[in-house]
Amino acid sequence: MGYALRRDLTYCEVSDRLVFLDLAADRYFCLSPGLEAGFRAIAAGYADTSPTEETRALLLAGLISETPAPTDARPCASPNPVHRSLLDAPTGTARPLTIGLLTGGIAFARMALRIGRFHQTILRLSQRKAAIGRGRDFDPLAMRELATQFEWTARLTQAHDRCLPRSLALAHHAVTRGWPVDLVIGVQLRPFAAHCWVQAGFDLLNDRIDAVRPFTPILIV
């Protein structure tokens, strides 16, 4: 018998603490020191066959469940290391149609988040990306063009502190056109902050390297 992390939970380690993201509840949280120690033992496969008090508490809270398979409670995987930001390339010519589609996507993402559909939006993106598969290589020119057109949207929408809806819109736009980009959400502690960006392989599409470096990925779609 083993234990499995709840399907709509993900986590990472930041500054010697485990930070969790509950997709269904759209919230971040940490465990108490005792529960965190118990969870670490489970994730490392060190949990005893007889559940401890901490294990029972984690089961009761619904964070983990018993499974006949071996324990699987791995943290978020690491994305590709970022080599460059495509925003550093010279700004190209604005294309009104593409900019309009991207701006509409940002508005739609903001509305979805406002009415509490974060989890559903992530699921839809994941399903569309799974349908593409990983076999398609990125076209550097197409990705640079996409980054350029998306940068133009900042002149039409509020870009400050709007990384999540903007990144969701960019990722959906790319995936719908067959480009399997990665949507990445990262966190930091002391003080707590979360940030979101989009990568095409080793390239950042909508952010600068220095802006994403302080954040540890907690979700990759």
Q: What is the 3-state secondary structure (H, E, C) of 78-132?
A: CCCCCCEEHHHCCCCCCCHHHHHHHHHHHHHHHHHHHCCCHHHHHHHHHHHHHHH
Each residue's pLDDT tens digit, 102-145: 999 999 999 999 999 999 999 999 999 999 876 678 999 999 99
pLDDT of residue 154: 85
**Could you read off the pLDDT of 15-47 as tens digits, one per residue?**
999 999 999 999 999 999 999 999 999 998 876
pLDDT of residue 161: 57
CA angle 146, 148, 154 (to 5 degrees): 110
Predicted pLDDT at 216: 98
pLDDT of residue 47: 65
